[in-house]
Structure 1
Amino acid sequence: MCRIFGRLGEGPATRVDRTDLARVAARQRHGGPDRQSVLAGDGWALGCNRLAVTDPGGGDQPYRLGHAFEDGILVVFNGEIYNHAELRRRLLTRGHRLPDRCDGSVLPALYAEYGPAFVEQLDGMYAVAVLDLRAAEPELLIATDPLGMKPVYYHLGADGLEFASELPALLAFPAVRRERWEPGLDRYLRYRTPLGERTLYRHVRVLPPAAVARYSVSGGLRISRREAPAEAGADAAVGAGVGGGFGSAAGFGAGFGAGLARGDRDEAGAGRDTLAALHHEVGRLARADVPVAVVASGGLDSGLVTALAAQHLPDLHTFTLVHPGHWPGDERRYAAEVARYCGAVHHEVELDPADLPDLLPRTVAHLGQPNADPITASTHALFAEVRAAGFTVALTGDGADELFGGYDRIRTAVATPPGRPWAGAYLEEVAAVPTALRERLYTAEYRAELRAESGTGSGTEPGAEEPALREEPDRMAAIWRFETGLRMPAYHLRRVDHLSMASAVEVRLPYLQPAVHGLAHRLPGHLKVSGGRVKKPLYAAARGLVPDSVLRRPKQPFTLPVTAMLAPGQPLAAFARDILAPDRVRRDGRLRAERVTALLDRKAGVPEDTAARAVWALLVHQLWADGESARH
């Protein structure tokens, strides 16, 4: 796991000064504290900050193929290639010499064998940049994993292309233009972060999941998308039972057809198949050359991962976040009960609300742009303690709600009678600030700007570039595309990546691995959500492995109790008042300061969740905007 960056171009900005490259590397060194390296040549530069996970003594980057890097293949890589041992064996039989056991060391030889199609051989989470210097004109190729677990930000200018694993690092390149994307505030308040390839900077984009981007000076930038893994065939999921000694993900899925037929018929069959798939993936991900822990919230998803990880890790440690005092939604009892049930050593990481005014600006800075989920502060604090306790890898339960339909808004959408609209209400639940409130908060000038940008009659209607949740008979299919294809990479996975790597912790996500993801995609919607129940296969899979108290408890998100923490007299409430003071809001020019103040007054008078979420979202955006002003 690493942080990567680089540039390919021509013109005045071609030769990036070593001081500038050092500044880029420094901005993401927290994610790769073990080793830093940069190579630069005529018109190009590649760099890496390494977090040593696989073969900690090896893995020197940039990886290379060729005695002289000037005429060979150079690779920098962020992530984990879980099938690297199988790929290594294959490459060795074809005559390649590989320097060590590091997973990324196979990449130059793999590219030499398969060209741009090398990415089809990879099983893992990754962002890979390949600089091919063998031809007369260098070409840069950047590939992302199928679900977008490892993001890459890039800037395309007149003089070339720059890329980095994190936004603040990319912005350290002198050629990168930092102009604000004006609709970004509306998109952020609408979706809790910009979706798709957009960022809050007009000229900075994120590569989509399953992307292969190729750039050369003469050919420009070309981005293609590979087929979504769950749609590529049935070999990405499960047919055998628990404990069957599975090998690679592809081999594991060889008998999937029969298993799916069983799972199609009833809930119990779906539960058996889900348990087998998850057992396989947790087992693969629990293997590492460094200590591995589990983040356990006290809910079903992480509880099931904990139970299965305990079968593979005899000295398992679990971590959960708590707050001193009594707060709504406190899950510490359940997290501790899961750990005891599974025989794990349990750690409670305490976050004092009085520390939020100091923690939140640092959290926003690591994200690089606003994300309105209050879990960001918790995530940042939690992974800092995981690392301090000596763990470099952590398994989590992220992704289960998206794959198996765990959100209340999904249950509501499914329960809406046929023929009645449901997508609009669904998107209102997704929003950080509801449409009517956004309308009241925006200045007339900003509403006019949004109308001009989107080409629609209303400043709060989505423009042509917006992701859509379409009304269609197969609601679960539409929800799957929106939640896993659009929202999860932008809102969820980038947040997890940036805030875990802020403390040099590699997060591994069992639910998003091929066997589980493929099975979840193929299960009929009614076996996931129906009759007012959600995540039915997971509940069936967890029986006997997770305490009954966890299975019976009402579902709740693992997040900060923001409504209570924004109550009058709380440190966070005073901090929000200060940050959202009228003079600071007016400087931005897009929000009506008096209405932001009225929202703060409303939240102080009535402890109401919608107003609290809106205040939190505005607070996070203002912290980001203040940080931008300070950097200028």
Structure 2
Amino acid sequence: MCRIHGYFNAVATPHEMCTVAALQRHGGPDATGMTRAPGWGLGYDRLAVVDPHGGQQPYGLGGPVQAVFNGEIYNHDELRRRLRARGHVFADRCDGNVVPALYLEYGEDFTDHLDGMYAVALVDRRGEVPRLLLATDEIGMKPLYLRWDEAARSLYFASEIPALLGFGPVGARMRDTALDAYLATRTPFGERTMFEDIEVLAPGTTLVCDLGGTPRRRRRVPAAAELPEPGRAAERVRERLREEVGRLLVADVPVALITSGGLDSSLVTALAAEHGPVHSFNIAYRGDWPFDERHFARAVAEHAGTEHHQVEIDPAGFPALLEETVRHLGQPNADPITLSTYALFRAVRQAGFTVALTGDAADEVFGGYARMRAAAGTAAAGGDWGTAYLDALSAAPAATRAGLYTDAYRDHLRDVPPLPEAARQDLLHGPGSVLERITRFELGHRLPAYHLRRVDHLSMAGSIEVRLPFCQRSVVALGRALPDALRIDGDQVKRTLYAAARGLLPDSVLDRPKQPFTLPVTAMLTPGTALWEHARDLLAPARLAADGRLDGNAVDALFDVQAHRPDDTTSSTLWALLVHEVWRERFQGAAGDLAPPAMAVAA
């Protein structure tokens, strides 16, 4: 696991490369390095997980293909045996060292042979001019951010946005319409970010560029769906998850389990415990708050026989914790769980662990969200499911958003949809059942943008590699192949996954009502708390007026509602606005300098 960065058809000094490396060193504290040649450079920071004493990057140094790699390749031993039989020599058994040889054998299709999570950058020097290749895994577990300058034909890239900003030519100017996109989906979807000149390479994408040329991108097609045998779906899911969890436990460093107390992480914990003693971690909040799951997590730990660690954080420290969390994310993410995610992984590292397995992505794969169930039910009754579903995705429903904006900003957004148009069209009008379209949308857009980037950045902020059994290709293919009724039927969600877990988990966990694994912000964002005072300061009318997009009186009205008649929609909106303002202050400068140029003209 590493952090990577570089440039192509551009110039960067060794000092700039070291600066970028330092800005993401938390994700790779064990080694750092770079290689440079006229017009290009590759750099990395390493978190040692496999073969800690090997893993010298860039891989292939001195050869015709040099590569830097972020991620984990779970089938690297098998690939290395195959490549050795073809005459390739390897200095160590680090998983990433197969990349140059694999590329030499299979060219741009080398990713077809990788089983894992990854972002790869390699330079091929065999042609008349060097060629750069960037590639990401199919589901987007390892993000890669880019800045492409069409006029200069130059490209810069890094694993994290704050690090990418360390390259001098990369600007931090905000995309003025991104506030609406953020509030509509809790973080920007698609390839665009909150920054005007920074994009993210889409999941399952290979980008190729010759020195002095223009990049071409190819979106790779996911593996074909695997239809389970009738009546054996739950058994097949259990077998597949057991196999993948076993593979993902293999490491040369200590491995832990994140156990929230819900079905998904509890199942991963139980399957991991079949392989021997394991350590489980749960996070909770000091005080008496709704949605406290610690007793469910402890029941799972006792059932599985884990050594359990209970992490507890104090809500009084949330303002400072929010500043750190937003800094590592690089752009706003409106899920309040970001705070506890960051704190939890920091505690896991302090306890001596480098790898953690989680239950993330089970809801997207197996149909676990209430909004999916509601949409399927509404569609079956012939109703308009799309509006309610999109509002359920948002930090602030469409009607609430419209009431928050100034007239100038509302007019500025008139022809700018918050969702990428192709994604919206496929969701609402594409082929397949409503649940099939929602699953395609959640896996292809929401999961990588809102969920996986958050997990990646906040785990690597604590020097923790997160492994995700539910994101493994075999599990995703099997889950996507399930008929709608084996995922959601009436009021029951994740039918097949619950059936697969029966007998492996306590009945108290299997039969409990589903609840969100989140920070109870409605209860915590109340007058007199440190979080409330922080929000009032950062969302003061004078600050908002300087920006020109939000109506300070409308935001004040939200505070009044939250103070006297708190509800989830109001608290979610205020939280999202607070997170955005923390990001704006950190990455855009002083409050008086924040009005986006395009808005200044539009107003």
Alignment correspondent of 2:31: 35
Structure 2 letter corresponding to 1:337: A
1:612 to 571, 581, 597: 571
1:262 to 216, 230, 241: 230
User: Aligned partners of 2:424, 2:29: CA distance in 1, in Å?
Assistant: 37
**TM-aligned CA deviation for residue 32 of structure 1:** 0.2
1:272 to 213, 235, 239: 235
User: Aligned partners of 2:233, 2:544: CA distance in 1, in Å?
Assistant: 51
**TM-aligned CA deviation for residue 465 of structure 1:** 6.0
**TM-aligned CA deviation for residue 587 of structure 1:** 2.2
User: Aligned partners of 1:187, 1:430: CA distance in 2, in Å?
Assistant: 11
Structure 1 residue 629 and structure 2 residue 588: aligned?
yes
Structure 1 residue 432 and structure 2 residue 395: aligned?
yes
Moved more, 502-511 or 537-546: 537-546
Structure 2 letter corresponding to 1:319: F
Q: CA RMSD in A?
A: 1.5
The 1:463/1:539 distance shift into structure 2, 3 A limit, reads closer
Identity of aligned residues (%): 53
Alignment correspondent of 2:599: none
**TM-aligned CA deviation for residue 586 of structure 1:** 1.9
**TM-aligned CA deviation for residue 449 of structure 1:** 1.3
8 Å CA contact 1:148, 1:489 repeated in 2 = yes
8 Å CA contact 2:263, 2:498 repeated in 1 = yes
2:57 to 57, 61, 64: 61
Alignment correspondent of 1:401: 363
1:297 to 238, 260, 264: 260
8 Å CA contact 1:144, 1:210 repeated in 2 = yes
User: Aligned partners of 2:304, 2:81: CA distance in 1, in Å?
Assistant: 36
Q: Structure 1-normalised TM-score?
A: 0.91
Structure 1 residue 146 and structure 2 residue 138: aligned?
yes
8 Å CA contact 2:180, 2:418 repeated in 1 = no
Alignment correspondent of 1:155: 147
Structure 1 residue 591 and structure 2 residue 550: aligned?
yes
8 Å CA contact 1:423, 1:471 repeated in 2 = no
User: Aligned partners of 2:423, 2:211: CA distance in 1, in Å?
Assistant: 30
8 Å CA contact 2:26, 2:463 repeated in 1 = yes
SS of 1:600 mapped into structure 2: helix
Alignment correspondent of 2:158: 164
CA shift digits 1:592-614 (9 cap, x unpaired): 11111111111111121100000
The 1:487/1:461 distance shift into structure 2, 3 A limit, reads closer
Structure 2 letter corresponding to 1:183: T
2:66 to 70, 74, 83: 74
- The 5-angstrom pairing of residues 526-537 of structure 1 reads 526-537=485-496
- The 5-angstrom pairing of residues 112-511 of structure 1 reads 112-157=104-149, 158-159=151-152, 160-229=154-223, 231=224, 234=226, 260-263=228-231, 269-312=232-275, 314-416=276-378, 417-452=380-415, 454=416, 464=421, 467-468=424-425, 469-471=427-429, 474-511=433-470
Structure 1 letter corresponding to 2:404: L
Structure 1 letter corresponding to 2:293: E
**TM-aligned CA deviation for residue 50 of structure 1:** 0.2
User: Aligned partners of 1:15, 1:568: CA distance in 2, in Å?
Assistant: 52
**TM-aligned CA deviation for residue 466 of structure 1:** 5.8
Alignment correspondent of 2:90: 98
The 1:461/1:512 distance shift into structure 2, 3 A limit, reads closer
8 Å CA contact 1:414, 1:530 repeated in 2 = no
CA shift digits 1:112-170 (9 cap, x unpaired): 11111111111100001111122221110001001010000001013310000000111
The 1:498/1:335 distance shift into structure 2, 3 A limit, reads same
The 1:140/1:463 distance shift into structure 2, 3 A limit, reads closer
**TM-aligned CA deviation for residue 461 of structure 1:** 6.8
1:559 to 518, 521, 531: 518
Alignment correspondent of 1:524: 483
8 Å CA contact 1:422, 1:471 repeated in 2 = no
Alignment correspondent of 2:8: 8
Structure 1 residue 18 and structure 2 residue 10: aligned?
no
8 Å CA contact 2:173, 2:588 repeated in 1 = no
User: Aligned partners of 1:378, 1:22: CA distance in 2, in Å?
Assistant: 31
CA shift digits 1:45-87 (9 cap, x unpaired): 100000000111000111116xx35xx2110000000110011
User: Aligned partners of 2:80, 2:278: CA distance in 1, in Å?
Assistant: 30
8 Å CA contact 1:359, 1:377 repeated in 2 = yes
Alignment correspondent of 1:246: none
User: Aligned partners of 1:216, 1:176: CA distance in 2, in Å?
Assistant: 21
SS of 1:494 mapped into structure 2: helix
**TM-aligned CA deviation for residue 463 of structure 1:** 6.9
User: Aligned partners of 2:91, 2:556: CA distance in 1, in Å?
Assistant: 61
CA shift digits 1:292-325 (9 cap, x unpaired): 110000111111000000011x221000111111
Alignment correspondent of 2:600: none
8 Å CA contact 1:195, 1:467 repeated in 2 = no
8 Å CA contact 2:184, 2:418 repeated in 1 = no
8 Å CA contact 1:421, 1:471 repeated in 2 = no
**TM-aligned CA deviation for residue 18 of structure 1:** 1.5
8 Å CA contact 1:196, 1:467 repeated in 2 = no
User: Aligned partners of 1:427, 1:200: CA distance in 2, in Å?
Assistant: 20
User: Aligned partners of 2:208, 2:555: CA distance in 1, in Å?
Assistant: 45
User: Aligned partners of 1:215, 1:176: CA distance in 2, in Å?
Assistant: 19
Q: Structure 2-normalised TM-score?
A: 0.95
CA shift digits 1:422-469 (9 cap, x unpaired): 1111001001011111111111111121125x2xxxxx6757466442
Alignment correspondent of 1:237: none
**TM-aligned CA deviation for residue 483 of structure 1:** 0.5
SS of 1:64 mapped into structure 2: coil
Structure 2 letter corresponding to 1:98: F
8 Å CA contact 1:401, 1:407 repeated in 2 = yes
User: Aligned partners of 1:369, 1:524: CA distance in 2, in Å?
Assistant: 36
User: Aligned partners of 1:149, 1:165: CA distance in 2, in Å?
Assistant: 11
Alignment correspondent of 1:545: 504
8 Å CA contact 2:262, 2:297 repeated in 1 = yes
User: Aligned partners of 2:21, 2:364: CA distance in 1, in Å?
Assistant: 34
The 1:488/1:215 distance shift into structure 2, 3 A limit, reads same
CA shift digits 1:503-541 (9 cap, x unpaired): 010000001112211110111011110021000111111
**What is the count of residue pairs matched by the alignment?**
586
**TM-aligned CA deviation for residue 15 of structure 1:** 2.9
